[in-house]
Structure 1
Amino acid sequence: MSRPVRRGREGQTRGLFMALPPIVLIALFIGFPIVLAFLFSLGYTGGLNRTIALIGQNVHHANGGTPTAGAYSDLFSDQRFLGDLVVTVVVTLVSTTVVILLATTIGLYLKCRGGILGKVLSALAVIPLFIPVVIASWAILGFYSADGFLRSVAAQFGVEFPIWSFTMVTVIIGSVWTSLPFATLLVSSGLQAVPQAMIDAARDAGASFVRVVTSVLVPMAGVPIVIATTFTAIGTLGSFTVPYFTGPNSPNMLGVDMSNYFSAFNQPQQSVVMAFVVFAIASGIAAVYVWANFRSAKESGAV
């Protein structure tokens, strides 16, 4: 075997051993529990799942080695779960759409206009990064409550402002608040990376501002926008703090339902099934993220 080939294989082996510790940690503390939870959802209640199966209520057991879908059947025949699933998807779609529209608008203003107003907008969009989600949730709840700021101001003019506290409206507002900073940073950086020469060329060719945005800026910043969209959607889909503090008791998002089924209702198997439903939806969103990263790497010549 030639010396270059031997050195190449030694380098590969060394690289494998250097990457092995984090891989082993992820496998032990994330991968293994996921496998256990999935087996538990299919009725395998022995081994490490034995204790939780003995404590929990309404636990479905596998018939020997044959898995059971009883827990899945229970949930998907439960109208409450189906309603909460629909609410979770709707809140995720609405919140993600609003976040990306706001982030893109701020990024476009910074790219095309800039100035003091653009800096103020970008600074305001990043402020939620420095405010804990719990404090922000309580502030949003009080702001839109029956005796909150908006109703108090509207009452001075004889207007009765609607009460939005403990509704899905405040959940959407809270989700937008917590997701906007990261999306703004990512989308703005993508738009700033578009070469000014291409914008000037489009303008010289007679393109209007709308045409420049739709044909040059947004397509060239498409990958960062897609990545921001996937991160926002996944974060909203699995959120707990905002819907727990600001949302109604029913319907509510699945993040809160998982906690309720696990602790309040003592139905751990059903809560695990909910987790895998959320995981399945998030995996579909993550596939878009992987595609965007692959496309970005391909465009840069890394692939």
Structure 2
Amino acid sequence: MSDAAIAVRPVRAAPRGGGLTGLLLVFLPVGLLAWLILYPILRAVIRTLVVQTGTGPALSLETYRFFFTDGYSLANLWLTLWVTALCAVLLLAVCLPIALYLRFAKSRIAALVQGLALFPMFVPSVILAYALIRTLGPNGAVDLVLNAAGLPKIASPYLTPAGPVIGLVWDNIPLTVLMLVAGLGNVSDNAVEAARDAGARPFALLRHIILPQIGNALLVVLSFTVLSIFSAFTLPYVLGPASPEMMGPFMQRTFTDVQDPRMAITQAVITFAICAGFGAFYVRSIARNREASR
């Protein structure tokens, strides 16, 4: 066949049913998302805002007004924010050096370090809480060792705000390390070696070469950390204080002990709004980074 014949051969148009097929493929996950997540959220918000009166349904902000004027509710919210922020900082401080070592180490010890870092992933939260109580609780293993050595006992973090912090940091180490190692995979070995050959010290190498290239990974880590810790229940319920308490146990006690479902749903909506605000900031930042990379 001549080149002219090839040049004038008409190009077949894409099948018209492709768009419909794509919509059908997307419909199932989008429908499940709307049914299992969006619909319950909308229903919960409506239940906190609409009350039944003698003349019919009416708009009311009574539960939100009570939450933001009640000292106990605000104390629980601030404790949750404090624990979340502290855990995020501690996780980065602990996991970033581990991830850097796993990314650039070439020895066999790296496999052992990776196994130890991922070990908490396979320990259920209830078992972790029990282990921390038996280790750091009153008359636990640490107290017994100090007593045998003739040393004074330490203040137990059990049933204090430090208890959930220790448990949540230990529980979130595996996922944080994995995400940081994945982000460090984008760091070029050539750039690191070139900076070393130019005389860059480790701190300068971290600040000017590594951190700028893992900004998205750090943002992902912070997002998942905030969403995971802010909504945590088991560890704060078992290890944390009874007053003030984090939002997860607070919602459970309001629903079961106080028997006030509407107020418990209000607390859940406020918690979701805070997490959604941080999630929106994360999505916006990722979108900006993608636009900048084009």
| TM-score, structure 2 as length reference | 0.89
Corresponding residue of 1:4: 13
Answering whether residue 114 of structure 2 is matched by residue 122 of structure 1, we say: yes
State the AA in 2 paired with 1:93.
Answer: A
Aligned length: 283
CA shift at 1:299, angstroms? 6.6
Select between 266-275 and 187-196 the one with higher mean Cα deviation: 187-196
CA pair 67-152 structure 1, distance change in 2 beyond 3 A: same
Q: Deviations over 1:171-227 (max 9, x none)?
A: 001111111100101101211331110001112222111100111112111211210
CA pair 3-200 structure 1, distance change in 2 beyond 3 A: closer
Corresponding residue of 1:13: 20
CA pair 155-62 structure 1, distance change in 2 beyond 3 A: farther
Structure 1 or 2, whichever has the larger Rg, is 2
Answering whether residue 192 of structure 2 is matched by residue 196 of structure 1, we say: no
Select between 222-231 and 118-127 the one with higher mean Cα deviation: 118-127
Which of 267, 270, 277 is residue 260 of structure 2 equivalent to? Answer: 267
Answering whether residue 134 of structure 2 is matched by residue 142 of structure 1, we say: yes
- Structure 2: how far apart are the matches of 1:208 and 1:63? 74
Select between 72-81 and 288-297 the one with higher mean Cα deviation: 288-297
Corresponding residue of 2:233: 240
1:170-249 matches, within 5 Å, as: 170-249=163-242
CA pair 41-216 structure 1, distance change in 2 beyond 3 A: same
- Structure 1: how far apart are the matches of 2:293 and 2:114? 28
Whether contact under 8 Å (2:44, 2:265) holds in the other structure is yes
Which of 95, 108, 128 is residue 103 of structure 1 equivalent to? Answer: 95
Q: Deviations over 1:75-112 (max 9, x none)?
A: 11111100000000000000111112211110112234
State the AA in 2 paired with 1:166.
Answer: L
CA shift at 1:283, angstroms? 1.2
CA shift at 1:4, angstroms? 2.3
Which consecutive aligned stretches of 4+ in structure 1 deviate over 6 angstroms post-superposition? Answer: none
Q: Deviations over 1:24-68 (max 9, x none)?
A: 2222222222111101110245xxxxxxxxxxxxxxx69745411
Whether contact under 8 Å (1:171, 1:247) holds in the other structure is yes
Which of 37, 44, 60 is residue 44 of structure 2 equivalent to? Answer: 37
CA pair 62-88 structure 1, distance change in 2 beyond 3 A: farther
- Structure 2: how far apart are the matches of 1:259 and 1:297? 40
Q: Deviations over 1:209-259 (max 9, x none)?
A: 110011111211121121011101110000001101111111110011111
- Structure 2: how far apart are the matches of 1:256 and 1:190? 34
C-alpha RMSD over aligned residues:
2.1
SS of corresponding position for 1:77: coil
CA pair 147-219 structure 1, distance change in 2 beyond 3 A: same
SS of corresponding position for 1:109: helix
Corresponding residue of 1:162: 155
Corresponding residue of 1:48: none
- Structure 2: how far apart are the matches of 1:181 and 1:269? 36
Identity %: 28
- Structure 1: how far apart are the matches of 2:91 and 2:79? 18
Q: Deviations over 1:234-292 (max 9, x none)?
A: 10000001101111111110011111111111111111111111111111221233135
Whether contact under 8 Å (2:50, 2:57) holds in the other structure is no
Which of 247, 271, 287 is residue 280 of structure 2 equivalent to? Answer: 287
SS of corresponding position for 1:160: coil
- Structure 2: how far apart are the matches of 1:228 and 1:99? 9
- Structure 1: how far apart are the matches of 2:18 and 2:290? 24
CA pair 255-222 structure 1, distance change in 2 beyond 3 A: same
- Structure 2: how far apart are the matches of 1:224 and 1:263? 39
CA shift at 1:148, angstroms? 0.6
- Structure 2: how far apart are the matches of 1:3 and 1:202? 52
Corresponding residue of 1:51: none
